[in-house]
Chain A
Amino acid sequence: MRIEGLRVAGETELLHGVSLAVGAGEAVGLVGESGSGKSLTLRAVMGLLPRGLRVTGGTVEVDGRAAMIFQDPLTFLDPLVRVGDQVAEVCRVVAGLSRRASRVRALELFADVRLDDRAVLARRYPHQLSGGQRQRVLLALALAQEPDLLLCDEPTTALDVTVQREVLDLLASLRAERGLSLVFVSHDLAVVAQLCDRVVVLRDGEVVEAGATRDVVARPHHPYTRRLLDAVLPLPALAGGRDG
């Protein structure tokens, strides 16, 4: 994906020429606080801008297909349809599968996103699932679209820390298994650092810094990046290591 000089405006301009490139199989983090334009950038790529906003300049090119997952899956899942049927429906439309084949495919996708008890779970409605399960269903729904690029808008922000860890690990392995490219939007640099090779820092609709995650974290150039890093509250190292 290549974004060049993307401008988005409503009554005032909100994105002032954002540029961003994501290579095949690469994971790029988009970091900033609320109002920085990080979610807006993803929505512009998907053509999902909120009412009243439009792209006023720049170009967006995506090689292949893009799919997106969101912070709050409930907004994007149909509350009245069993989750298995929702995923099957997308398989039918995208891959042209029969009713029966699409149902089998949906269960395969549930396996891909590491959902347990799949046959039972597929018959549930969104409100009957936990937050982590819903996010996995949303991910299955995204994978059903056979994307080359997955746009992730704060998908773990609302999750418990142990569930967040599972979803981050899942995204990392899906990326490795399928060669997916990822754009991961978050306000939390520590979360982005878990997953992304490169990071782009956005502030008030402008890119203020971009580079390899390791370099940006070790030697931030822009004062705003430094502020974001300073805001990550530190934890002392755990005796016995991370996996002890």
Chain B
Amino acid sequence: MADGLELTGVSVAYAGRRVVDDVSLQVRPGTIVGLVGESGSGKTTLARAVVGTVGLAGGTVHLDGTPLARRRSRTERRAVQLVQQDPYASLNPLLTVGRVLDELLRVHRLAERRIASDTAGAPDAGAWRRARCAELMGLVGLEADTLGRYPRQLSGGQRQRVAIARALAVEPRILVADEPTSALDVTVQRTVLDVLVGLSARVGLGVLLISHDLSVIHAACDDVAVLREGRIVEHAPAARFFTHPSDPYSRRLLQAVPRLPERAP
């Protein structure tokens, strides 16, 4: 099996009903796969299945060729991270951004691991963590002084980038982003998408980008999968999907998107 995330025949059932039904999907390192679906399609449940917070009724999830167990180890949990829609709800209001990140690095003993494996590195874990926090801010396009701020002092877009930085702190292989731009103003959406695109290219992160918004998927993704009532009805390279969808439902979705009239060049 290849590198990255691989779902094979994944099903999730609630009360006997299959809300995710026989889904197969691959996310390679350095690529962004878009998962599009309307409400009730099972997108969020699928996200939970990928990060391991719901059990599977069938199928397997592999990471870099290794099957992930029902109860994931701490290392396995670190490897697949989730970013959710609402950055307001997911950040502790009482901690500064720097404190949140530092805490994570400390809990996972990331400095110690890194220093142990890096012969040239300084032995000071605190200094390593400070440098890493600044680096994380850089990766999501935020100034280093953001580390001293509290969540309420940040805009929605900044908060979402902090949430991404927090997910990145534990050095995941795969990032699952569930509607990461839906709560943001339109002018900020693009910044967050650019961050995801940059990360997949620069650090080889595999991203599963879940959205109801086809333009968001188009702006960021290499491949597109369409989920309807728990099943994948189409899975195609983005370049083909947006002009030549093969499934009638995909086509209906694309036709429904409001588009601007022609703009002057």
Q: Is the CB of B255 within 8 A of A238?
A: yes
**Does any Cβ of A come within 8 Å of B187's Cβ?**
yes
**Does any Cβ of B come within 8 Å of A127's Cβ?**
no
- A-B contact count, CB below 8 Å? 95
Q: Is the CB of B243 within 8 A of A189?
A: no
Q: Is the CB of A168 within 8 A of B212?
A: no
Q: Is the CB of B214 within 8 A of A162?
A: no
B contact residues around A80 at 8 Å (CB): none
A contact residues around B216 at 8 Å (CB): 233
For A173-201 the 0/1 string (1 means CB < 8 A from B) is: 00000000000000111110110000000
For B253-265 the 0/1 string (1 means CB < 8 A from A) is: 1111111111110
Q: Is the CB of A229 within 8 A of B187?
A: no
Decide: A235 near B261, CB < 8 A? Known: A162-B253, A164-B256: no
Decide: A218 near B212, CB < 8 A? Known: A161-B253, A165-B256, A238-B251: no
Q: Is the CB of A160 within 8 A of B260?
A: no
A contact residues around B190 at 8 Å (CB): 231, 233
The complex places the Cα of A67 from the Cα of B242 at a distance, in Å, of 39
* CB-CB nearest in chain A for B215: A233
**Does any Cβ of B come within 8 Å of A52's Cβ?**
no
For B206-221 the 0/1 string (1 means CB < 8 A from A) is: 0000001111101100
The complex places the Cα of A131 from the Cα of B40 at a distance, in Å, of 11
Number of interface residues of A (CB under 8 A): 38
Q: Is the CB of A235 within 8 A of B259?
A: yes
Q: Which residues of chain B in 154-174 are interfacial with respect to chain A, using CB atoms and an 8 Å cutoff?
A: none
Q: Is the CB of A234 within 8 A of B215?
A: yes
Q: Is the CB of B186 within 8 A of A161?
A: no
**Does any Cβ of B come within 8 Å of A214's Cβ?**
yes
Number of interface residues of B (CB under 8 A): 32
Instruction: Quote the shortest CB–CB distance from A166 to chain B (angstroms).
Output: 8
**Does any Cβ of B come within 8 Å of A108's Cβ?**
no
B contact residues around A193 at 8 Å (CB): 258, 260-261
| Choice from B39, B186, B242, B262 contacting A236 with Cβ under 8 Å | B242
| Choice from B185, B242, B259 contacting A190 with Cβ under 8 Å | B259
Instruction: Quote the shortest CB–CB distance from A20 to chain B (angstroms).
Output: 22
**Does any Cβ of B come within 8 Å of A217's Cβ?**
yes
Q: Is the CB of B186 within 8 A of A188?
A: yes
Instruction: Quote the shortest CB–CB distance from B220 to chain A (angstroms).
Output: 9
For A231-244 the 0/1 string (1 means CB < 8 A from B) is: 11111111100111
**Does any Cβ of A come within 8 Å of B252's Cβ?**
yes
B contact residues around A238 at 8 Å (CB): 242-243, 245, 251, 254-255
For A206-244 the 0/1 string (1 means CB < 8 A from B) is: 000000011001110000000111111111111100111
**Does any Cβ of B come within 8 Å of A78's Cβ?**
no
**Does any Cβ of A come within 8 Å of B109's Cβ?**
no
**Does any Cβ of A come within 8 Å of B72's Cβ?**
no
A contact residues around B261 at 8 Å (CB): 193, 213-214, 217-218
B contact residues around A187 at 8 Å (CB): 185-186
* CB-CB nearest in chain B for A34: B185
**Does any Cβ of A come within 8 Å of B244's Cβ?**
yes
| Choice from B186, B214, B245, B255 contacting A228 with Cβ under 8 Å | B186
| Choice from A33, A34, A235 contacting B215 with Cβ under 8 Å | A235
Q: Is the CB of A160 within 8 A of B38?
A: yes
Instruction: Quote the shortest CB–CB distance from A114 to chain B (angstroms).
Output: 16
The complex places the Cα of A233 from the Cα of B209 at a distance, in Å, of 16
**Does any Cβ of A come within 8 Å of B189's Cβ?**
yes
B contact residues around A244 at 8 Å (CB): 251
A-B pairs, top 4 by smallest CB distance, nearest first, are A233-B215, A160-B38, A165-B256, A231-B186
Given contacts A187-B186, A191-B258, 4 further A-B contacts (CB under 8 A): A190-B257, A193-B258, A238-B243, A242-B255
9 contacts between A and B (CB under 8 A): A33-B186, A131-B39, A162-B38, A188-B258, A214-B261, A229-B263, A231-B189, A231-B190, A234-B218
